[in-house]
Amino acid sequence: GKKLGFTIDSGRFHNISLGQGQEMVAEEALKKAARHGHWVLLQNIHLAAKWLGTLEKLLEQYSEDSHPDFRVFISAEPAPTPEEHIIPQGILENSIKITSEPPAGMLANLHAALYSFDQDTLELCTREGEFKSIFFSLCFFHACVAGRLKFGPQGWNGRYPFSARDLAVCVTLLCNYLETHTKVPWEDLRYLFGEIMYGGHITDAWDRRLCCTYLQEFISPPVLEGELTLAPGFLAPPNLDYAGYHKYIDKTLPSESPVLYGLHPSAEMGYLTAMSDNLFKTLLEIQPQMNSFVGEGSGQSAEEKVKNVLDSILEMLPEEFNTAEIMQRTTAWSPYTLVCLQECERMNLLLSDIRRSLKQLDLGLKASDFFGELMFSPHMDVLQSALFYDAVPDTWTKLAYPSTHSLAPWVTDLLMQYGELEIWTQDLVLPAVVWLSGLFNPQSFLTAVMQSTAHKNNWPLDKVCLTVDVTKKTKEDYGHPPREGAYICGLYLEGARWDIQLGTTAEARLKELTPAMPVIFVRAIPVDRRETSNVYECPVYKTKSRGPTYVWTFNLKSQEKPAKGVLAGVALLLAV
């Protein structure tokens, strides 16, 4: 556009970022551009979903009898799910579509970060040595946070739009602060970069901790002394020119590995496994479904397969708990008793919905055999599709606990969970070891541990916290619960492993993605007695999806500095 004379200064280029009532401005710009042959760039049209119908009509109107030089450019973020595809089909069909893929790998990301600048940028600041050193560390930080997104939840809990613009603003801030301060204001720079510029995108508290930890490692005094190791085998470069930095990267940067981002090498296995699962899931979903045969020579149609799965689940499904009868088994109402009853009620709701929906589907399948066509409601059609693909139906998922399992292991887990509750309801006494992963609401149980201890010792509940001691035993080694607190099991450690002999976290072994934890003793203590040294604040999540499945924070003993666990994405999971 600049070569052809379409610039903002000439008045022939209109750049409009949609959102916050910019629709009228965009309509005026389109009208003017169509008449005089200008170019219009509409940015972020996904933020103006209600206006897209109007835009489609305007583009159709201006496509006739408009100036031959009139052009419209549109940008939008890709929709994460098919349901969020909001751009009208008419706009898509009449457009030339271009996809901008982010760089893949540390090498490409680091070069891309530098390509946003030139030699003039390196000469902006009078304190050249300090500026260049911090500038390169900042570029490496940007490459880390951008490249880490590919590792999914172990990389970041959320998907954040980190861009070259964030980096450019940080470099400008760096130059200004160095010019106005005699000493490098490390704390100020880290706060501006981590809490405002990059942190402005971040919505998750644990992701914010990760971002700030990166900056603590990279934006620190050792970078000025040439002693900072940005990644294993990659030292911060000496004072070079612009071309020299690119050559230094090509020559000294190690080959692509999760280690460059602070992650364990096994993180790549998890990332590739997730990619493969998504690929095969997509391939399965685009296959012809109904009225097709499950396998060559099997002679089994899709309806027959669904009927077999349906009958199998109905046969295994246990009866609902009689909560009225259970409540009469005790007169001592403790927080644990309430948790047990709440879990039974949640289980009853789930079992009732499963039984009802499966019986309805069974009747629909029988009616189709009788009338020769499927007599289905939309809900039954969705249920049949889920059973066919060995997926857990959405209606069941909403009433159950978060899980990433397919249908068969999910049903197995459900039956195990029912068995645990059945034992607990016999006398409503706390089990010797509680299977935390099998609870609908594990937070309520952990809160009950605090309430029970606080009540027993007359402690204010807001002055109490949980502490954990990882034992050396398994569930079978315990015959009764502890006097205070509870024994829990069913947790897995991702990003590290537990060294039973040393009683601390340790480097994960290759190909061991989520080793199981021994039984953990959970108890409540006053906040002022909580240990804060030689511990890693480990988040506990329900599934590998992390993010919204957060449960609690357990302080695990560790001989490493906390930054290593944070960068490695170490977390406890209730289900894998």
Q: Are the C-beta atoms of 207 and 158 separated by less than 8 Å?
A: yes
CA proximity to 493, closest of 468, 521, 517, 519: 517
Q: How far apart are CA 522 and CA 359, in angstroms?
A: 42
Q: 467 and 394: one domain?
A: no
Q: What is the pLDDT of residue 293?
A: 41
- Residue 516, strand partner residues: 492
| Residue showing tokens 């940007």 | 142
CA proximity to 437, closest of 540, 547, 558, 307: 540
Q: 497 and 435: one domain?
A: yes
3-state SS of 451-492?
HHHHHHHCCCHHHEEEEEEECCCCHHHCCCCCCCCEEEECCE
Cβ partners under 8 Å of residue 421, min gap 6:
321, 340, 343, 344, 347
CB atoms within 10 A of CB 519: 22
Q: Where is average pLDDT lowest: 24-38, 129-143, 274-288?
A: 274-288
Q: Are the C-beta atoms of 449 and 504 separated by less than 8 Å?
A: no
What CATH number did the domain enclosing 217 receive?
Answer: 1.10.8.720
Structure tokens, 7: 């610039």
Secondary structure (DSSP) of 228-258: -EEETTEEPP-S--HHHHHHHHHHHPPPS-G
- Residue 572, strand partner residues: 493, 540
pLDDT at 209 over 90: yes
- Extended strands (E) in 47-110: 71-74
What CATH number did the domain enclosing 505 receive?
Answer: 3.10.490.20
Region 516-525: mean pLDDT is 95
pLDDT at 1 over 60: yes
Q: What is the pLDDT of residue 292?
A: 43
Q: 397 and 435: one domain?
A: no
Q: 180 and 316: one domain?
A: no
Q: 352 and 236: one domain?
A: no
Among candidate residues 41, 60, 93, the one where a domain is terminated: 93
- Structure-model confidence comparison of residues 146 and 302, the more confident one: 146
Q: Considering the chain, what percentage of its residues have pLDDT values greater than 90?
A: 59
Q: 423 and 445: one domain?
A: no
Q: What is the pLDDT of residue 372?
A: 44
Q: What is the pLDDT of residue 300?
A: 63
Helix, strand or coil, per DSSP, at residue 192: helix
Residue 538 phi, psi (nearest 5): -100, 120
CA proximity to 317, closest of 363, 362, 348, 361: 348
Q: Where is average pLDDT lowest: 144-158, 285-299, 381-395?
A: 285-299
User: DSSP letter at 569?
Assistant: T
Region 140-153: mean pLDDT is 92
Q: How far apart are CA 485 and CA 247, in angstroms?
A: 59
Give the DSSP H or E segment for 563. helix 562-567
pLDDT in tens, 86-129: 888 888 888 898 887 777 789 999 999 999 999 999 998 999 99
Whether residue 266 lies inside any domain: the answer is: no
Q: How confident is the model at residue 381 (pLDDT cuts 50, 70, 90)?
A: confident
Q: Are the C-beta atoms of 485 and 520 separated by less than 8 Å?
A: no
Burial of 450 (0-12, 13-18, 19+ CB in 10 A): buried
pLDDT at 70 over 70: yes
Helix, strand or coil, per DSSP, at residue 115: helix
Whether residue 2 lies inside any domain: the answer is: no
pLDDT at 291 over 70: no
Q: How far apart are CA 131 and CA 242, in angstroms?
A: 13
Q: Where is average pLDDT lowest: 232-246, 282-296, 400-414?
A: 282-296
Q: Are the C-beta atoms of 348 and 320 separated by less than 8 Å?
A: yes
CA proximity to 418, closest of 499, 492, 320, 490: 320
Q: What is the pLDDT of residue 465?
A: 93
Q: 387 and 473: one domain?
A: no
Helix, strand or coil, per DSSP, at residue 14: strand
Length, in residues, of the chain? 576
- Structure-model confidence comparison of residues 376 and 105, the more confident one: 105
CA proximity to 481, closest of 453, 509, 444: 453
What is the total count of domains within the chain?
4
pLDDT at 294 over 50: no
Whether residue 489 lies inside any domain: the answer is: yes
| Amino acid letter, residue 134 | I
What residue spans of 66-163 are helical by DSSP H?
Answer: 89-93, 106-115, 119-122, 128-147
Burial of 550 (0-12, 13-18, 19+ CB in 10 A): middle
Burial of 316 (0-12, 13-18, 19+ CB in 10 A): exposed
Q: How far apart are CA 402 and CA 386, in angstroms?
A: 17
CA proximity to 380, closest of 397, 400, 407, 362: 362
CB atoms within 10 A of CB 226: 12
pTM across the whole model? 0.83
| Amino acid letter, residue 284 | L
Secondary structure (DSSP) of 320-360: PP-HHHHHTT-S---HHHHHHHHHHHHHHHHHHHHHHHHHH
Q: 239 and 369: one domain?
A: no
Q: 155 and 246: one domain?
A: yes
Q: Are the C-beta atoms of 364 and 333 separated by less than 8 Å?
A: no
User: Considering all CA atoms of the chain, what is the largest pairwise distance in Å, rounded to the nearest integer?
Assistant: 88
The whole-chain average pLDDT of the chain stands at: 89
What CATH number did the domain enclosing 38 receive?
Answer: 3.40.50.300
Residue 35 phi, psi (nearest 5): -80, -40
Whether residue 4 lies inside any domain: the answer is: no
| Domain that residue 169 falls in | 106-261
Among candidate residues 226, 261, 296, the one where a domain is terminated: 261
Q: What is the pLDDT of residue 139?
A: 96
Structure tokens, 209: 């901790």
Helix, strand or coil, per DSSP, at residue 104: coil
Among candidate residues 93, 120, 135, the one where a domain is terminated: 93
Q: 309 and 402: one domain?
A: yes
pLDDT in tens, 473-486: 999 999 899 999 99
Region 538-563: mean pLDDT is 93
User: DSSP letter at 301?
Assistant: B
Whether residue 269 lies inside any domain: the answer is: no
Q: How far apart are CA 256 and CA 446, in angstroms?
A: 41
Q: What is the pLDDT of residue 353?
A: 94
pLDDT at 504 over 50: yes
Q: 446 and 403: one domain?
A: no
pLDDT at 385 over 80: yes
Q: What is the pLDDT of residue 332?
A: 78
Q: 477 and 421: one domain?
A: no
Q: What is the pLDDT of residue 275?
A: 84
pLDDT at 331 over 60: yes
Cβ partners under 8 Å of residue 144, min gap 6:
106, 214, 260, 261, 262
User: DSSP letter at 293?
Assistant: B
